[in-house]
Amino acid sequence: MVEFIIFSRTARTDSSFTNLREAGRLDLIYQSILTSMFVSHGIRKDVVFHGILNGPPKPPLHLQVDGAELHDVRVDEATWTQILQNVLSDGKHPGITLDKKGFHQIIDEKSEVYVLEESGELITDVAFGENPVFVIGDQVRLPKKEEDWILRKAKKISLGKQKYLAMSCIDIINYILDARSNK
């Protein structure tokens, strides 16, 4: 099982939006879900995505997408706008849950946690166990307080000197894990 956690400072915690970009960057959550879950003509059944939504009006909310349970989805933004509006309105969708767990509570449940940081150990030099959890900040990065807290439990890893979009980081991590599992 591979897990990805995106900490979003601004993602809305209600359904009053017309598009994901204007919903406190819920577009970043949508893009990260796509890159963590989807492969050509399929869904990664061994991946769980967590979005920690800290925007108004009722933060924090924990959005979880479980690839083993996810179905009735497409990859277009309009579909995900509807799905996220539905779930944020207390609706249901297969494989997607919403609860009031915060960042600390989610991390405390995990044992093998890695935080993406430019100053971390190069990812290609890290041996991962069976259940790695990768934490990625939003377009701004993790808040300093949260970063200091998580680094007591997690290991810093890096994709190199180049800075990438959160969704690209997930794609790169999946590629590396896929390449290792295909040896």
- DSSP 8-state code for residue 63: E
Contact 8, 28 (CB under 8 A): yes
d(CA 122, CA 112): 17
Q: Give CA angle at 144 (155, 58), nearest 5°.
A: 105
- Residue pLDDT, tens place only, 27-83: 999 999 999 999 999 999 999 999 999 999 999 999 999 999 999 999 999 999 999
- The arithmetic mean of pLDDT across residues 82-101, rounded, is 97
- The arithmetic mean of pLDDT across residues 87-98, rounded, is 97
All domains in the chain, ordered by first residue? 1-183 (3.40.1280.10)
Task: Specify burial of residue 179 (Cβ count, 10 A radius: 0-12, 13-18, 19+).
Answer: exposed
d(CA 142, CA 120): 14
Task: Show Cβ contacts of residue 53 under 8 Å, excluding neighbours closer than 6 positions.
Answer: 8, 11, 12, 13, 24, 26, 29, 59, 60, 61, 62, 63
- Residue pLDDT, tens place only, 130-162: 999 999 988 777 888 998 999 999 999 999 989
